[in-house]
Amino acid sequence: MLVLVVVVALLAGMLGAGLDALLRSNSSSPPNTGVASGTGLTGGKGAVAAVAAAVDPAVVDIRTDVANQLAVGAERAAGTGMLVTPTGEVLTNNHVVAEATRILVTVFGHGTYPVKVVGVDATQDIALLQLVGAPRNLPYVRLGNSAAVQIGTTVVAIGNALGLGGKPAAISGTITAVGRTINAEDSLGTTLNETLHNLLRTDARIVPGDSGGPLVNLKGQVIGMDTAAQQPEASGYGEGFAIPINHARSIARLIAQGRSSSQIHLGESAFLGVLIGGVYPGLINPFDLPTSTTTPLSGVQISAVDASTPAQRAGLQAGDTITAIDGTATPNNRVLLGAIQAHKPGAPVTVTYVSTSGTTHTVRVDLAGIAR
């Protein structure tokens, strides 16, 4: 998948001292958020509900339209974010907004707003958004100190579970490990692939849609940002992983200053005009899953061809299997998507495919463009 486009410098000077002060703060000197009391909700049946009730007002739903690199149009995806200032700055994962052609954020009790992407650090999977047109007195989360988190710490994961919207879902668990490294892929089998380090691991059941949501201790302090989930076992759910909030806060400060290590830039995407298995409307969340849709022909089978597209003009049809682009084998979705994204709109490519009759063809295709 191509990365989204953003110019950080246009907003960096407008964020003011409030964001920087918040991002510098820690649990020993917390801001007055109006969200979490921080009095210590220890034990008892109502502890999880009390934490959720305290933090929920600052947890937002993020809905995106995601560019399809091979076909016209967009897919829908959903994730979570957390308000980190009363003026509408939202912290979330980069993979929640990557490839988005449109982003809408819902703040419960206040409304739904478009956003400007202040900036991202794709290598750290962190993004900072700014709500457009929102009120200036929004609730915002209280950031804790993730360096103090220990194995066995009780936590509550809060988010837009399964992209259902409405009141955030909350599930409790414990920290089962710290300092973990994972290699994560998008569950759709696309080109999104990242290695993340020094993560918190939890047995709280993080599911698609929770990405970017807060992992909270029983004092109502955010100690991590939910980011990935292990492949579920047959018996239920795998464990989840969260970026420690101290690290996320440091990266967000750099983004606010226009110093993020990898920013995203709007432009125009090339597309071929086919739909392939594994690229379908869904929820973005990176899972530790193998890349799928390798066929017996060691290629990617076309499930549909859009009308008036380069693929249709070249004679490609549903059921054909693309085996190579410019002579390079395309054994799965990720490789095929990468081969398309490596070109600009209008660029010529050669597509090798096997038709449903078993005949191999090689055709020239001039990729089209879709405005981002």
Q: Which two tokens stand for residue 242?
A: 């969260």
What are the angstrom distances between the C-alpha of 356 and each of 103, 315, 350, 361, 362? 39, 12, 19, 11, 14
d(CA 356, CA 340): 23
* Angle (nearest 5°) at CA 60 between 54 and 66: 160
Whether 37 is catalytic: no
Enclosing H/E stretch for 341? helix 333-341
Q: Which of 125, 186, 210, 226 is catalytic?
A: 125
d(CA 251, CA 23): 9
Q: Which of 27, 187, 211, 260 is catalytic?
A: 211
Whether 125 is catalytic: yes
Buried b (16+ CB within 10 A) or exposed e, 99-122: bbbebebbbbebeebebbbbbbbb
Whether 28 is catalytic: no
d(CA 341, CA 40): 49
Q: Which two tokens stand for residue 237?
A: 């759910």
Q: Which of 95, 186, 226, 260 is catalytic?
A: 95
Residues with active-site annotation? 95, 125, 211
